[in-house]
């Protein structure tokens, strides 16, 4: 089976990382002033402390140049505070219901844009997200509006986090295998910017707010791609690493979803990634030691350190993980849609010859390792 017909969709706002970090210091300070209403708050001193903490723990512009947002435009002071992050009313911003309402509106619009100029319905449509929930979903509404209800089945692959592109691929492979003419579309809609909480000033929360961003994409899984460039799927593999279930989590809170990230994640990942990749390659009938130097790697860049850990544990060269670093630098961590952005770049690269193996790995709550071996065609 092949992956082809990639279409990326950027959110309405793009902002430089430097400006976003300035906005974070500002909004956290205003949230603290609201929280301490009636008390003496030295806003200037608190703002200075926030800026020092952000410089110390957050990902700077040397690693992430810009990120996209559906919620607010930090580059434009008139629009920097959307209704969701008006902390003058509530220290944490708007509640989960308002955030999810915005998610529903943005996702409905995203499906329309992703299917502009696409009159032919897919046989199956797999919708992937971990950043919102509404039923009927944007995928179901698209199918209903287009009159595809008797031809297109909708499957939801929800709330797996950053590794979800691989389970979604596994689902799509199963659906596509039921008939030679079946076309399965996979659509990711991730709006991570809905889930920041300006009232929580911990280093962990600031790390999350300095990494995550929004993005959407559509691509197709099918048996034949015609003249289009494609990536052939050779194997997929997933494991849950025992004893790591609390290392990463998404939990529903009063102000959107709360993410927790343990400092132990890079160490855990470094210990487990080599045997995982060896098994992944074996499932494709390949020996990792033999193929390693000829592969490129699509590593989900949970952060710059994650890419470093994978590179070092697998004894790779920087060029082999360059595409992962580039996507992180241009867009930030967009959760499940990040790996498809890397696939798209590798597929479009004139420097990557036909026949190149793409070893793809991503990680998420569980702690789950998910991977796929692809070959450029």
The total domain count for the chain is: 1
> By the 8 A CB rule, do 270 and 326 touch?
no
> By the 8 A CB rule, do 200 and 338 touch?
no
pLDDT band, very low/low/confident/very high, at 227 (cuts 50, 70, 90): confident
Name the pTM for this structure.
Answer: 0.94
DSSP of 314-375, one letter per residue? HT--GGGGHHHHHHHHHH-B-GGGHHHHHHHHHHH-TTS-TT-EEEEEEEETTTEEEEEEEE
Task: Give the pLDDT confidence score for residue 233 in this predicted structure.
Answer: 97
| Dist CA 226 CA 238 (whole Å) | 30
pLDDT band, very low/low/confident/very high, at 101 (cuts 50, 70, 90): very high
User: For residue 266, what are the domain limits?
Assistant: 230-376
Residue 43 lies in a domain: no
Read off the CATH number of the domain in which 239 is found.
Answer: 3.40.47.10
Task: Give the pLDDT confidence score for residue 314 in this predicted structure.
Answer: 96
Residue 225 lies in a domain: no
Residue 367 lies in a domain: yes
Residues 167-224: tens digit of each pLDDT? 999 999 999 998 767 899 999 999 999 999 999 999 989 999 999 999 999 999 998 8
> By the 8 A CB rule, do 101 and 108 touch?
no
> By the 8 A CB rule, do 154 and 185 touch?
no
Q: Residues 147-153: contacts with CB within 8 Å, 24+ apart?
A: 148/121, 151/121, 151/123, 152/121, 152/122, 152/123, 152/124, 152/125, 153/123, 153/124, 153/125
> By the 8 A CB rule, do 13 and 68 touch?
yes
> By the 8 A CB rule, do 221 and 186 touch?
yes
Residue 303 lies in a domain: yes
Q: How far apart, in Å, do the first and last CA atoms of the chain sit?
A: 11
Residues 133-183: tens digit of each pLDDT? 999 999 999 999 999 999 999 999 999 999 999 999 999 999 999 876 789
| Dist CA 264 CA 132 (whole Å) | 27
Task: Give the pLDDT confidence score for residue 38 in this predicted structure.
Answer: 64
Residue 93 lies in a domain: no
Residue 54 lies in a domain: no
Residues 301-349: tens digit of each pLDDT? 998 899 999 999 999 999 999 999 999 999 999 999 999 999 999 999 9
Pair of tokens at residue 238: 């997933």
Task: Give the pLDDT confidence score for residue 77 in this predicted structure.
Answer: 54
| Percent residues over pLDDT 90 in the chain | 76
Higher pLDDT, 242 or 6: 6
Task: Give the pLDDT confidence score for residue 258 in this predicted structure.
Answer: 84
| Dist CA 228 CA 224 (whole Å) | 9
> Which residues lie closer than 8 Å to 109 by C-beta, 6 or more apart?
none
Task: Give the pLDDT confidence score for residue 173 in this predicted structure.
Answer: 95
Between the alpha carbon of residue 38 and those of residues 34, 209, 274, 366, the distances in Å are: 9, 28, 55, 43
Residue 201 lies in a domain: no
Residues 41-96: tens digit of each pLDDT? 788 999 999 999 999 999 999 999 999 998 876 666 555 566 788 888 889 988 99
Between the alpha carbon of residue 245 and those of residues 149, 271, 310, 363, the distances in Å are: 39, 16, 20, 12
Task: Give the pLDDT confidence score for residue 89 in this predicted structure.
Answer: 84
Residue 298 lies in a domain: yes
């Amino acid at each position: 089976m092949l992956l082809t017909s990639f279409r990326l969709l950027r959110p309405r706002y793009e902002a430089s990382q430097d400006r976003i970090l300035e906005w974070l210091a500002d909004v956290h300070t205003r949230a603290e002033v609201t929280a301490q209403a009636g008390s003496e708050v030295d806003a200037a001193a608190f703002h200075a402390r926030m800026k020092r903490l952000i410089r110390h723990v957050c990902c700077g512009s040397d690693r992430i140049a810009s990120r996209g947002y559906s919620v607010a435009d930090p580059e434009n002071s008139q629009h920097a505070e959307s209704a969701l992050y008006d902390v003058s009313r509530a220290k944490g911003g708007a509640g989960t219901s308002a955030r999810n309402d915005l998610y529903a509106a943005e996702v409905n619009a995203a499906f329309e844009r992703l299917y502009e100029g696409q009159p032919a319905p897919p046989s199956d449509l797999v919708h992937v997200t971990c950043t919102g929930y509404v039923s009927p979903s944007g995928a179901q509404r698209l199918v209903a509006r287009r009159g595809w209800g008797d031809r297109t089945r909708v499957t939801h692959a929800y709330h797996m986090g950053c590794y979800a592109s691989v389970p979604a691929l596994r689902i799509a492979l199963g659906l596509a295998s039921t008939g030679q003419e079946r076309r399965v579309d996979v659509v990711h809609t991730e709006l991570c910017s809905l889930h920041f909480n300006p009232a929580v000033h911990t280093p962990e929360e600031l790390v999350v707010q300095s990494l995550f961003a929004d993005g959407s994409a559509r691509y197709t899984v099918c048996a034949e791609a015609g003249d289009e460039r494609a990536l052939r799927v050779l194997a997929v593999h997933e494991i849950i690493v025992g004893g790591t279930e609390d290392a990463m989590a998404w939990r529903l809170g009063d102000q959107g979803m709360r993410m927790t990230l343990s400092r132990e994640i890079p160490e855990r990942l470094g210990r487990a990634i080599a045997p995982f990749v060896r098994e992944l390659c074996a499932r494709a009938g390949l020996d990792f030691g033999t193929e390693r130097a000829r592969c490129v790697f699509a590593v989900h860049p949970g952060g710059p350190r994650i890419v470093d850990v994978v590179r070092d544990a697998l004894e790779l060269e920087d060029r082999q993980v360059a595409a992962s670093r580039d996507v992180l630098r241009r867009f930030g961590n967009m959760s499940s849609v990040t790996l498809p952005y890397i696939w798209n770049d590798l597929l479009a690269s004139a420097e990557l010859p036909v026949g190149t193996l793409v070893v793809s790995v991503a990680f998420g709550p569980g702690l789950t390792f998910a991977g796929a071996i692809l070959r450029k065609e």
